[in-house]
Amino acid sequence: MQALLDFQMAHSRARDAVHGRVDFDAIAAPLAGAFAQTPLRVRSRADDRAIYLRRPDLGRRVHADDLPPLQGAHADYDLVFVVADGLSAAAVNAHAVPLLRTLAPRLAGWTLAPIVLASQARVALGDEVAVTLGARLVAVLIGERPGLSVADSLGIYLTYAPRIGCADSARNCISNIHADGLGYARAADTLMWLLDEARRRRLTGVDLKLDAPSLASDTDAATGGDSTNIIGSSEHE
């Protein structure tokens, strides 16, 4: 009986994570303070959650009405962060702000675009955001598909020279960021290593492997496996 109750509770948490809402207003204020610029807000072309779940393609493109503010902020940026709800609002609500605050002091020397907060969004929406803003790299923080053991896992997808229609093999992913998985400091260190290598080598994806021994061993220990894979966004967000 207890096993059944545990299963029902886990299933309920997973369902709530998928259908919940990210409190972007609560996220925007602390990020504006940490990064000294007001985040931009966009929606995907999926008008509501039901459409988002049925039509992944619409979640990969920015709503036409939300492109002008991005175009108005266009400049020569090294990097843009996109915070996307994905398939777990709980993950974004819990982890996006503390992770970005952990990253902020590590980003000296990087020219950052305004952070973009994206609703009904999938990983590939970040490509259009980056192209429109003029950023060479995009890091998408997104709620990962909940499992029965973890409903609030956050992932980071990093892409160099993004473009609309970019292949999943061109991305690196840091996954399993949550209380019992990869911690904020280790996730930030791993991302910074990937960012530095991506900028130096001008690539991400299958040709950019995490081969810094201290990072690789610690991330494996924290997550029970390799948390920096190149994986298809349709399966994990």
pLDDT for res 237: 56
Report, as an integer, the average pLDDT of 57-62. Answer: 98
Lowest mean pLDDT among 61-65, 125-129, 130-134, 212-216: 212-216
Q: Give me the chain's average pLDDT, please.
A: 86
Separation of alpha carbons 218 and 227, rounded Å: 10
**39-58 pLDDT per residue, tens:** 999 999 999 999 999 999 99
Alpha helices of 73-167 — where are they, by DSSP H?
A: 89-103, 125-133
Q: Which one-letter amino acid corresponds to residue 215?
A: L
pLDDT for res 144: 96
Answer whether residue 229 shows pLDDT above 80. no
What CATH topology corresponds to 2-236? Rossmann fold (3.40.50)
Compute φ and ψ for 73, nearest 5 degrees.
-100, 10
**140-150 pLDDT per residue, tens:** 999 998 765 68
Answer whether residue 22 shows pLDDT above 90. yes
Answer whether residue 235 shows pLDDT above 70. no
- What would the two tokens of residue 45 be? 């072309």
pLDDT for res 20: 81
Q: Which one-letter amino acid corresponds to residue 59?
A: G
